[in-house]
Amino acid sequence: MGTSADTCGVLGRRLIHCVLAAALACTGVLAQAAPKTGGDGVDKGYDHYLVGSSADAAPSSPPAAPASVLMGGGKDVADALKWMIGKGGGGDFVVLRASGTDGYNSYIYKMGGLDSVETLVVRTREAAGDAFVLDRVRKAEAVFIAGGDQSDYIRLWKGTPLASALQDLVARNVPIGGTSAGLAVLGEFDFSGANGTVLSSEVLANPYDPLVTLDRGFLAAHGLGGVIADSHFAARDRMGRLLGFVARLVKDRWVRTDAARGIGVDSETALLIDNGVATRVGKGSAYFLRPALAPQVCELGKPLTFRNVQVERLSAGGSFDLRTWAGSDGATAGYDVSAEAGVLTSGQQGGSAY
């Protein structure tokens, strides 16, 4: 039987693919298009995708200072990821997620300066203690937690060896970042989303609404002690809910009033935190909240009253020092926001909370 031109083309492409794969394997460079689930083919609760070298990179020196990235979701901010690569000294870049596939691998690898980019999709608590997963994370020169559902991260990873490995990276000054749900778990305190998301109007009406699920003890990036962070900030009108989250932290005695902090980051925007000093990249703003007083009314079933919470908005150049909670000269615009019987007000001209 004759062979069609289409079939010949397919066979030819397969032959070329096999030759290229063999050549890449000989050089130690791999580009996995399918997940690795373990050498025996058994699903071990994680998927592993790799582009670049499978060998462990060994940068000449560890990072000199801690670095972290809070990315507000939406379109990724390439400059923030490039900054993480530089801070980590190249080497191996690990993306963590609980669902999805390898969408970041080629995107980040093409930025250059890396031996490899790999994605670990850790889908079970058992996988969060798997030796292979822990080995890849511990050897990373940078770790980025993707968007998704932060309740998955907390439910599947909190209290596991994976969480301990991540905190060890923070202690070793390895850059760590996250976007959207990944941002939500980088503060000392988290909105877990265990019962679903919640709107500002719902939090202001009842800060103890069952949707207001707060958590602590999972992970804390450097400089984010006392902080609860939120993403997609202005676009999804989240000032009211962050105000309510901060009120709850104080009311529930998780943190003293003078130590409670909130950070909101707009979509397509990132904060680069270098040894406790934050700069902004991207299209939007970042908002830094600090209460002057404890909430006046923060009770189950009652509208929130929480007055004179100080906001510093970083919208352009300059920096914000998380240690002193102050912007560099002229870098931020300062104003107050309040909740009065569940109604959000702002001291800015025109009354905008943003």
Q: Is 109 helix (H, G, I), strand (E, B) or coil?
A: helix
Q: Which domain-ending residue is among 163, 186, 209?
A: 186
Angle at 31 between CA 25 and CA 37, to 5 degrees: 95
Q: Give a yes or no: residue 9 inside a domain.
A: no
Q: Are residues 153 and 224 in the same domain?
A: no
Alpha-carbon span 67 to 225, nearest angstrom: 14
Per-residue model confidence as pLDDT tens digits over 156-174: 999 999 999 999 999 999 9
pLDDT at residue 9 is higher than 60: no
Determine what percent of the chain is predicted with pLDDT higher than 90. Answer: 86
Q: Which of 33-42, 152-161, 264-273, 323-332 has the lowest mean pLDDT?
A: 33-42
Total of domains in the chain: 2
Q: Are residues 253 and 285 in the same domain?
A: yes
Q: Is 42 helix (H, G, I), strand (E, B) or coil?
A: coil
Q: How many CB atoms lie within 10 A of CB 231?
A: 28
Of the chain, the end-to-end C-alpha distance in Å amounts to 72
Per-residue model confidence as pLDDT tens digits over 118-159: 999 999 999 999 999 999 999 999 999 999 999 999 999 999
CATH of the domain at 48: 3.40.50.880
Residue ranges making up the domain that contains 96: 44-186
pLDDT of residue 79: 98
Q: Give a yes or no: residue 2 inside a domain.
A: no
Name which of 218, 175, 222 is nearest 193 in CA terms.
218
